Amino acid sequence: MTQAQPLLLGIDVGTGSARAGLFDLAGRMVSSAKCDFGLYRESGHIVEQKSAEIWAAVCTATRAALAKAACPPEAVRGVGFDATCSLVVVGTGGTPLPVGPSEDPARDIIVWMDHRAVDQAERINATGHPVLRYVGGRISPEMETPKLLWLRENRPAVFAAAWQFFDLADWLGWRATGDLARSTCTVTCKWTYLAHEGRWDADYFHQIGLGELADEGFARIGSRVVEPGCPLGAGLTAAAAADLGLCPGTPVGAGLIDAHAGGVGTVGAEGAPERDLAYVFGTSSCTMTTTRDPVFVPGVWGPYQSAMVPGMWLNEGGQSAAGAAIDQLLSFHPAAAEAADSARATGQSLPGFLATWAAEGLSCLSEVATRADGLHVVPEFLGNRAPFADPHARAVIAGLGMERDLKSLVALYVAGICGIACGLRQIIETQASAGAPVERIVISGGAGQSDVVRQLLADVTGLPVLASAEAEPVLLGSAILGAVAAGIEPDMTAAMRRLSRNAHSYEPAKGALKALHDRRYAAFLALQQAARAAR
């Protein structure tokens, strides 16, 4: 590499790690690095993090990516951040505030998966406020206004002392540039900002018990809202640049939620984003469907304007536990520990090891489904995010026998992936019936890297699954923000088309294997309904 080669930096903050990726101006990744950070759990559904740990991990990953590429700081022309939709609570000047019973002031983040605010979400939903129409009719405890209400009711001193409440991606933008602007992606999708009208709804905040935020002019949650990729401040501050190993003034684009960065990195490759459903399969799963006009789908978040593709509408579904649901499922099996040791010996994760084992000796990948004959999983360990918006839903496993060997563990794994895929099919069919059909699925996320997983998703849904040419489309999506902020690309739409590419398509099964999946899907629906009836 020559020093003159301009590069873009994408930074992704997931549930357990920060990743940094350097890309050339054609969207090809030059180097990447990762650094883990902590996740702190308390009794019940309390899950917290520390913003200081996350920033340190971001800096470590960035410096490592620069070192791998032998990249001088001045080669980085633009920076973009994405992050989980977690709530960061800080006092004056950014001092962390304790958000839970630990009283640890460093634990200033309520993580996206935290469900402490279920009661608050149910009370908000009982108001029937018109704003809820833009979150699929029911707000989720994973969103920020229920969490803010929980803080006000359970941690009133912390709520009163808070200078700013940030979505994590916006906190990263502020930490890097000093700019308090919020992204339309974060506040529209998780905070009830009405991007299509360019306003917060003060009446909603008064009605749910957060009226003081409205009375303050929304200064603590975002009085200025900008589109993703909009340049923040004057770029990196001197302090942030020193932390990251970059040059002061390097342009930084307003950020994205991590799943939406995956959408930006995938759906625009062929200039028709409404054709493809972006499916991000990681710890959780997210589905993102783009439409030219608003489509209201009960139980599916949105429609949100300009939350991912500027000027277009977005519907967002998925499940709170996806990759995490597979991990939970496998942990129940007697052979899991021994199999995990074998996986580590081969340098694989346990799911990756089982996927490899499941495909052995088959004439085609679609035959993997036969490994799970008679075994069915509805993997709703952490509720059903879509299409039922039901945080109380729980998993169902049917067809277990007395087997304790590796073969039965593989069967459980395959059944779990089929269950994840059935949930995806249910969302797709629900959206299509409401007027938002899709033709293909474009996949990203760590849990969706396997050929076996991709083929099963195609077979169960009956739609082709496309894989990006870039192995890290979430990082690419963040790098695209940097390209727009730096003026290298004129806008997000142009940047998506220029920098992202599809590489491979997994075609759905036909004939007897298709019929098998139709029967399995019918069983999924029946078990899901039975679980709801039992509750």
Distances (CA, A) of 427 to 258, 382, 432, 496, 524: 20, 17, 9, 25, 13
Q: Per-residue pLDDT for 15 more than 70?
A: yes
Question: For 151-172, what is each residue's pLDDT tens digit?
Answer: 999 999 999 999 999 999 999 9
In this prediction, residues 146-152 reach a mean pLDDT of: 98
In this prediction, residues 440-444 reach a mean pLDDT of: 93
Question: For 388-429, what is each residue's pLDDT tens digit?
Answer: 999 999 999 999 999 999 999 999 999 999 999 999 999 999
CATH of domain 7-260+470-500: 3.30.420.40
Position 4 confidence tier, pLDDT thresholds 50, 70, 90: low
Domain boundaries, the chain: 7-260+470-500, 323-468+504-534
Stretch among 26-35, 267-276, 320-329, 447-456 having the lowest mean pLDDT: 267-276
How far is the C-alpha of 176 from the C-alpha of 252, rounded, in Å?
8
How far is the C-alpha of 56 from the C-alpha of 243, rounded, in Å?
8
CATH of domain 323-468+504-534: 1.20.58.2240
Residue 2's pLDDT is what?
A: 47
Residue 506's pLDDT is what?
A: 97
Residues 6+ apart with CB under 8 A from 418: 369, 372, 376, 377, 456, 460, 517, 520
> Quick one: which H or E segment has residue 165?
strand 164-167
How far is the C-alpha of 452 from the C-alpha of 385, rounded, in Å?
25
Residue 269's pLDDT is what?
A: 76
Residues 6+ apart with CB under 8 A from 96: 50, 51, 52, 89, 90, 105, 106, 107, 108
How far is the C-alpha of 356 from the C-alpha of 372, rounded, in Å?
15
Question: For 309-350, what is each residue's pLDDT tens digit?
Answer: 888 999 999 999 999 999 999 999 999 999 999 999 999 999
